[in-house]
Amino acid sequence: MSEQQEPRKRLDLEPDTVERDLIKLVLTVVELLRQLMERQALRRVDEGDLSEEQEERIGLTLMLLDDRMTELRDRYGLRPEDLNLDLGPLGPLLPRE
**Residue 85: which pLDDT band, with cuts at 50, 70 and 90?**
confident
- Residue 52 has what pLDDT? 93
- Residue 7 has what pLDDT? 47
**Residue 13: which pLDDT band, with cuts at 50, 70 and 90?**
low
Radius of gyration of the chain (CA): 19
pTM of the model: 0.70
